Amino acid sequence: MQSLLILVPLVCLMLFNLPWKRGVGQAVSFGAGLAFLAAQAAAALWAMLSGGEPFADPLAGFLVFKTSADGLTWVMLLTIAVVAASSLAVSRAAFTDEKDRFYFANLLFVSVIGMNGAALSGDLFTLYVFFEAASVASFILIAFRRGMAGLEGAFKYLVMSTVATVLMLTGVGFFMLAGAGTSFAEVRAACLQSAHPEFARVGGLAFMAGLFIKGGMVPFHGWLPDAYGTAPGPVSVLLAGIVTKATGVYGLIRLTGSVLPMMPEVQTLLMTLGIVSIYAGALAAIGQSDYKRMLAYSSISQVGYIVLALGCRTPLALAGAVFHLLNHAVFKSLLFSNAAAVESRLGHNDMNRMGGLQAQMPWSSLSAVIGLLSTAGIPPLGGFWSKVIILLALWQAGFHAAAVLALAASLLTLAYFLSMQRRVFFAKGTETGSAVTEAGAAYLWPQLALAGLTAAIGIGFPFVYRFLLTPIQQLLW
């Protein structure tokens, strides 16, 4: 079944763009996209609950390529489907021109194929190839409206992403020099048994440096606020919700969790970068007046928690990292959908010119509250549990100072989000009593669904732990 998750969207993409009469491709792209993403989410859920694929691959006998999947793959596929579906739904309202909607749906499909391919890959070079597919789609999506700000954001992402590409290819070169292939198992073996394990380890570090850039870690984060802040609403949802995670953070989880062996220097590097990202992102978020840029800096801070957990390198920490990736994808997509809704009503993202939207946009306000509480780690929402697991893993492994620092940073998160909520919705301001109305259904439904999901993940935590996190803990070697 795994190959269908790459081939079906690819075939759909080609069918949409055949010269049909009366724009049939345009008409069906939205519905077909949602249907495919719903099927992908259902398949991933089924695989998690049953501990295997829902059905055998019908094309297995015909295909020449091989994919691989484990517990982490299914979590990624589920997350990709949820966020991409939200982004597609928001695009329905954000783009008024039918052609723009169609182009967006096409590029979203390209991005989904890139992310699915990366999640289903068992090889570092293949991982890199699919990362590139998703990244090229992202450059275009950021510049989608062709404004100066969007083009600048896309250009910065392009330049930084190219540097990441060079580093990852250098890493692949070193893996080959070590005499190994580039599959996860071969690189793992080369690190331990090769005549030149140092080449495999240098290759691992170079690949990791590329992933730091792709994931927007401090100090490689320069491109991220511009890219998230200037992109159209649905693109921000897609980029912040999943693309940077599926390209950068997922690669880091694979590399550190199941490819590279335990190296104390790497652990120290990851923990330091994690703590620095948590605080640098949070402090920068406090100073922002642009809603989307504030959320972008918040993303840097939250990804810091994931990297911190990877540095801890225990089975529980790995599970916490993956769980926080899932939670962050859900609540950050929710908050960016919220920002898109507010922007659609006011025409800008300046929080200093907002205020008083609570009365006019009560549902958007409610979903923002749920998103911010989950981000800050308030029980019983999903974000609370993933942070608790990370803190617990750090404490158990003896990294007490890191645990305390990570806990204290949650207060900073709460501070900047409460400030956001007050400036946008609660406090009296420019928009108090104005004629602004609640965002339309296409904006509201994704927000409410994601808010419900983050609450459901929190309340259903025992099930999540059993079916999602327990298999992940076995992946660490």
Of the residues 1, 10, 39, 414, which one makes contact with other proteins according to CB under 8 A:
10
Q: Which is nearer to other proteins, 123 or 431 (by Cβ)?
A: 123
Which one of residues 42, 59, 129, 359 is an interface residue with other proteins (CB under 8 A)?
A: 129
SS3 194: coil
Helix (H, G, I), strand (E, B) or coil at 290: strand
The C-alpha torsion from 262 through 120 and 219 to 302, rounded to 10°, is: -90
- Give the nearest distance from C-beta 129 to other proteins in angstroms: 4
27 belongs to the binding site for other proteins (CB under 8 A): no
Reduced to 3 states, what is the DSSP secondary structure of residue 123? strand
* Closest approach of other proteins to the CB of residue 100, in Å: 9
Classify 387 as helix, strand or coil.
helix
- Closest distance between other proteins and the C-beta of residue 329, in Å? 22
**DSSP H stretches of helix in 183-240:** 184-193, 197-215, 223-230, 233-238
Closest CA relative to residue 393, chosen from 290, 469, 281:
469
| Beta carbon of residue 360, minimum distance to other proteins (angstroms, whole number) | 34
Contact string (CB under 8 A) for other proteins, positions 37-76, x = contact: --------------------------xxxxx---------
Say whether residue 6 binds other proteins (CB under 8 A): yes
Of 43-51, 127-135, 285-293, 345-353, which segment contacts other proteins by CB under 8 A?
A: 127-135
Q: Which residue pairs, CB below 8 angstroms and at least 24 apart, start in 243-246?
A: 243/111, 243/115, 243/134, 243/135, 243/138, 244/214, 244/215, 244/216, 244/299, 244/303, 245/79, 245/215, 245/303, 245/325, 245/328, 245/329, 246/76, 246/79, 246/80, 246/114, 246/115, 246/118, 246/119, 246/134
465: its two tokens: 């732990």
Note whether 257 binds other proteins by CB under 8 A: no
Which residues, numbered 102-121, are part of the site for other proteins (CB under 8 A)?
103, 106-107, 110, 113-114, 117, 121
The residue range among 49-57, 191-199, 335-343, 381-389 that interacts with other proteins, by the rule CB under 8 A, is 191-199
Query: What is the spatial distance between Cα 12 and Cα 15, in angstroms, rounded to a whole number?
Result: 5
Residues 137-176 that bind other proteins (CB under 8 A): 137, 139-140, 143-144, 146
Least CB distance to other proteins at residue 2 (A): 11
Chain contacts with other proteins (rule: CB under 8 A): 6, 10, 13, 63-67, 99, 103, 106-107, 110, 113-114, 117, 121, 123, 125-126, 129-130, 132-133, 136-137, 139-140, 143-144, 146, 177-179, 181, 194-196
